[in-house]
Amino acid sequence: MQTPEQRLDYLNSRVTSAILHAEHLSLGRERQAAYWEVANLEEEIAMICPAGTVEGDVARHGAITASIEANELVRAYALANRYLSETPSAPGLEELKDEILRKVYGDSR
């Protein structure tokens, strides 16, 4: 059985590897799938690390941006709303929410 610290170390190692893998892929389904995995790992880290901590805020931001990269815009928007409801909320989430809306509706909003 892992301690919470060991679990977090394991997840951080996995997410680092997953990000490096995703960044080296060409645009397309394989890259989207790789970012889907990054989003899952970041979301799990966000569940462990509280909002308002550096690691928690980075994980929240990472879960949203990876969801955007995976073209999972509904998921990204839902995560942004969930994380914005936390106190304190991670900085930059409103801007990410705006980015998601621009991707959905175009820049004409």
- Whether the per-residue pLDDT at 109 is higher than 60: the answer is no
CATH 1.25.40 matches 4-105? yes
Give residue 23's identity as a one-letter amino acid code. Answer: E
Q: Which residue has the tokens 């995995």?
A: 37
- What mean pLDDT do residues 71-97 have? 95
DSSP secondary structure of 54-72: HHHHHHHHHHHHHHHHTT-
- Whether the per-residue pLDDT at 108 is higher than 60: the answer is no
C-alpha to C-alpha distance for 73 and 19, rounded to whole angstroms: 19
Confidence of residue 1 (pLDDT cuts 50, 70, 90): confident
- Whether the per-residue pLDDT at 80 is higher than 80: the answer is yes
Chain segment 41-78, per-residue pLDDT in tens? 999 999 999 999 999 999 999 999 999 999 999 999 99
Confidence of residue 106 (pLDDT cuts 50, 70, 90): confident
Q: What is the pTM of this model?
A: 0.93
What is the per-residue pLDDT for 92? 93
C-alpha to C-alpha distance for 99 and 91, rounded to whole angstroms: 14
Domain-by-domain residue ranges, the chain?
4-105
